Structure 1
Amino acid sequence: MRKLIGASLIAMMVAIPAAMAQNATPAGTWKTIDDETGKPKSLVRITDEGGVLTGKIEKLFRPADQDQNPKCTACEGARKDQPLIGMTILSGLKKDGNEYTGGEIMDPAKGKTYKSKAQLKDNGSKLEVRGYIGAPMFGRSQTWVREQ
């Protein structure tokens, strides 16, 4: 009987993390990490609206002597000179197997929009976000860290 209980507990300990990873979603708050400096840049809240992911800037990590809510001077169109906090920078991502594809990501520093895809890593604690032009091989990736 003890062997049966022990085996059941082990099976549950293995199954629960696997089930959690399988059901993990990018919805939540993420700390964006600059791929060039390795430093935190912002907090982005990702929401899932009918299976489509959208991400908005909630907070910026900037030195105290800089504007804490700068405007997107490099942006064009409706985003031109709009505050970065509250701006949608990620949109249109849909689940495709173990990835989220078909979206766009905007780089406020350059004011440019790129095609995007994302994939959860490390049991949902990290999100690898890739922005690219044309094909995914022509772009760059950032690893965002889930805020607890």
Structure 2
Amino acid sequence: MTNRFLAFFLLIGLLVGALSAQAAANPDAVLGVWKNGEGTGMIQIFKKGDKYYGRLVWLKVANTPEGKPRTDVNNPDESKRNVLLKGLENMRDFTYKGDNKWEDGKIYDPKNGNDYSCEMTLVDPNTLEVRGFIGVSLFGRTDVWKRQVKK
């Protein structure tokens, strides 16, 4: 009888451990395609090494009024103003910090040509809060992105 109780509690312990491991945060949970809060673009978040990056993969207005693909016309570096926006890597160097947070990254805003410090928080499997800021996170703006496609 004692062996049965011991086996039962061992089995319960293993099940609880397995469920806890599944519930633990997944550093790659952020991978996939996300639509920004304005609905004007989609960004694919991907991984290189142990860092996370993002690139523009869809634009609501993909072409200029002349019918040409939009380029990075607001880039402060004149040599980069002919780079296509579609495919532009505009997020870089994010590190997973636990608790569904990725920090120490940078985000480039092609609308104004500025680079900002950035952090991301996965609120639920399909909602990502992206906060761009200058200096400290207190002085910034948060945009809520919605998942379109999982990695």
Q: Which TM class, normalised by the smaller chain length?
A: 0.7 to 0.9
Letter in 2 for 1:75: N
Aligned to 1:133: 134
Given the superposition, is the C-alpha separation of residues 63 and 86 from structure 1 closer, same or farther in structure 2, using an over 3 Å criterion?
closer
Alignment coverage as a number of residue pairs: 131
Which of these two proteins has the greater Rg computed from alpha carbons? 2
Letter in 2 for 1:71: T
Distance 1:144 1:68 in 2: 27
Question: Is residue 75–residue 81 contact of structure 1 (8 Å, CA) maintained in 2?
Answer: no
Whether 2:74 is the aligned partner of 1:74: answer yes
Given the superposition, is the C-alpha separation of residues 107 and 65 from structure 1 closer, same or farther in structure 2, using an over 3 Å criterion?
closer
Question: Is residue 60–residue 69 contact of structure 1 (8 Å, CA) maintained in 2?
Answer: no
Whether 2:95 is the aligned partner of 1:91: answer no
Question: Is residue 25–residue 98 contact of structure 2 (8 Å, CA) maintained in 1?
Answer: no
Unaligned runs of 5+ residues in structure 2 are: 1-11
Given the superposition, is the C-alpha separation of residues 21 and 141 from structure 1 closer, same or farther in structure 2, using an over 3 Å criterion?
farther
Aligned to 1:19: 22
Aligned to 2:51: 52
Given the superposition, is the C-alpha separation of residues 52 and 65 from structure 1 closer, same or farther in structure 2, using an over 3 Å criterion?
closer
Letter in 1 for 2:33: T
Stretch moving more, 24-33 or 131-140: 24-33
- Percent identity (aligned): 25
Question: After superposition, what is the alpha-carbon deviation per residue over 1:99-131, rounded to whole angstroms, capped at 9, x for unaligned?
Answer: 111110011000000000001012x21111010
Equivalent residue in structure 2 for 1:107, among 106, 109, 112: 109
Aligned to 1:37: none
TM-score (norm 2): 0.75
Unaligned runs of 5+ residues in structure 1 are: 1-7, 35-39
Letter in 2 for 1:127: L
What is the CA RMSD across the aligned residues, in angstroms?
Answer: 2.7
- The Cα shift of 1:49 comes to 1.4
Question: Is residue 119–residue 128 contact of structure 1 (8 Å, CA) maintained in 2?
Answer: yes
TM-score (norm 1): 0.76
